[in-house]
Amino acid sequence: MKTLTVALGDRSYPIYLGKGILDRLPALLVEVSKGGATIIVTDSNVGPLYGERVASLLGPGTAVCALPAGEEQKRFAQIDWLCGQFLEAGLDRGSMVVALGGGVVGDMAGFAAAVFMRGIRFVQIPTTIVAQVDSSVGGKTGVNHPLGKNTIGAFYQPSAVVIDMALLESLPDREIRAGMAEVIKHGVIADADLFAYLERESRAILAKNVQALDMPILRSCEIKSAIVAMDEREHGRRAELNYGHTFGHAIEAVSEYSRFLHGEALALGMHAAGVLACTLGMVDAAFVARQRACIQAYGLPTVWPELPVDAALEAMRHDKKARSGKLKLIVPDRIGHVVQRTDVDDAALRDALEALRG
Ligand SMILES: NC(=O)c1ccc[n+]([C@@H]2O[C@H](COP(=O)([O-])OP(=O)(O)OC[C@H]3O[C@@H](n4cnc5c(N)ncnc54)[C@H](O)[C@@H]3O)[C@@H](O)[C@H]2O)c1
């Protein structure tokens, strides 16, 4: 087992990583649980797979509540429902919420824990690649609003994150591929060696050889925790984690959040960002080809022939308005390094989007 620390002063917390470490949960959480009432928040897919096991590890009296699975559940009404479940289970200020699931469960359980009795302890047990390498670390919690994704929420750090790669064995293949987009992102923004490893090991990783996922998950957590420790509230370097996301969010918006999983939209977004970097003279065509080949090796898309370019540009402008008039783009200048640009004109954005039409 490896242990990392997200260094945030008195809100610092450990990330425990290792295959099969779930069985050590009672020992890992001994500091956190302090013997109060505990509730597991999960969803209708993960609950039947791991809910009972985690409940019995956490001891008698542990309550379990399961949300229906799916992004469409990530809405404010479900926070009200979760708080009702917490009250019925007898939770008080000394209690603990355990998020057992993917990013949807983690974001919602974390937000509910942040607002319930003005904040109770919570622990993340992420069960998707997206959640293990990204959403469980860093304290962004929240829900969607019909007028905007992830627009309601709070920064609320967990007390611990327990990452057991063995839980990925039941994850559907499409979710594995989509999760790998976030790992590729970490390689491009911060670690050329990680990127080269991903190029070499795509077969083993897609075959769910959990051993092959050890290093990329650990490295991703190291990269994310280091950035979060530097810039918890995204006033500076944390924005680098949004590489590919400005295009990706526009692609999700124009496809009404139904055609692509987030990681698939991110894959398209990273390719567009690579093309943009080339247009801006920051990388050469070889960079674009190399990044594209790696994305494709994970069965992720780099073209969408029907992409409505005007609508996507409009969605990016909307994003810009939401961010006080400045569209901040994260653009690579080599594998393993990115810079922030706020001076990119619409023509360059249009070219990058056009490239996605193939
Ligand atoms: N807070 C953050 O910093 C952050 C970062 C990235 C993404 N997110 C959010 O995370 C969400 C996406 O997360 P996700 O990709 O994990 O999606 P998800 O939580 O919807 O999980 C994907 C699917 O896999 C199922 N599943 C989960 N674990 C499983 C397992 N081990 N075996 C079998 N099935 C399993 C789920 O029930 C679901 O159907 C989005 O809402 C996104 O906004 C948040």
**Claim to verify: residue 19 and residue 121 sit in the same structural domain:** yes
How much is the mean pLDDT over the chain?
96
236 and 316 together in one domain: yes
Q: What is the CATH number of the domain that holds 284?
A: 1.20.1090.10
Exposure string over 23-60, b if 16+ CB within 10 A, otherwise e? eebeebbeebbeeebbbbbbbebbbebbbeebbebbee
pLDDT at 322 over 70: no
Sign of the CA dihedral running 308, 310, 316, 319: negative
144 is catalytic: no
Residue of 44, 133, 144, 175 to mutate, ligand 1, most atoms within 8 A of C-beta = 175
Q: Are residues 157 and 240 in the same domain?
A: no
Q: What is the pLDDT of residue 55?
A: 97
Banded model confidence at residue 325, pLDDT cuts 50, 70, 90:
low
Beta bridge partners of 122: 97
Ligand 1 atom at minimum distance from 129 CA? 16
Q: To test the ligand 1 pocket, which listed residue (73, 74, 107) has its Cβ within 8 A of the most ligand atoms?
A: 107
Residue 60 and residue 256: Cα distance in Å, rounded?
43
Specify whether 105 is located in the same domain as 183: no
Amino acid 323: pLDDT? 67
- Identify the CATH number of the domain in which residue 125 sits: 3.40.50.1970
Of the three residues 170, 198, 220, the one that is the final residue of a domain is 170
Nearest CA to ligand 1 atom 4: 135
> What is the reported pLDDT for 205?
97
Verify that 111 and 68 share a domain, yes or no. yes
Residue nearest to ligand 1 atom 9, measured at CA:
103
Last residue of a domain, one of 150, 170, 190: 170
> What 3 state SS string does 342-357 have?
CCCCHHHHHHHHHHCC
Of residues 213, 227, 96, 230, the one with CA closest to residue 163: 213
Computed from CA positions of residues 207, 208, 214, 218, in that sequence, does the dihedral angle turn out positive or negative?
Answer: positive
One domain for residues 202 and 271: yes
Q: Residue 256: which domain range?
A: 173-355
For residues 36 and 157, state if they share a domain: yes
Same structural domain, 299 and 339: yes
Residues in contact with ligand 1 (CB, 6 Å cut-off): 43, 45-46, 49, 69, 71, 74, 101-105, 107, 127-128, 130-131, 134-135, 138, 140, 150, 167, 170-171, 175, 262
Q: Is 223 exposed, middle or buried (0-12, 13-18, 19+ CB in 10 A)?
A: buried
Contacting residues for 133 by C-beta, under 8 A, at least 6 apart: 179, 182, 183, 186, 216, 217, 220, 221, 224
Domain boundary among 170, 198, 217: 170
Catalytic, 337? Answer no
Q: Are 150 and 265 contained in the same domain?
A: no
Strands 160-163 and 13-17: parallel
Question: What does the alpha-carbon distance between residue 355 and residue 251 come to, in Å, rounded to a whole number?
Answer: 13
Residues 244-258, mean pLDDT to the nearest whole number: 94
Q: Compute how many other C-beta atoms are within 10 angstroms of the C-beta atom of residue 320.
A: 15
Distance 93 CA to ligand 1 centre (A): 28
- pLDDT tens digits for range 19-74: 999 999 999 999 898 878 999 999 999 999 999 999 999 998 899 999 999 999 99
Domain match, 191 and 248 both: yes
Q: Report the domain count for the chain.
A: 2
The answer to whether residues 179 and 165 belong to one domain is no
Distance 219 CA to ligand 1 centre (A): 20
pLDDT above 90 covers what percent of the chain?
92
Name the pLDDT band for 320 (thresholds 50, 70, 90).
low
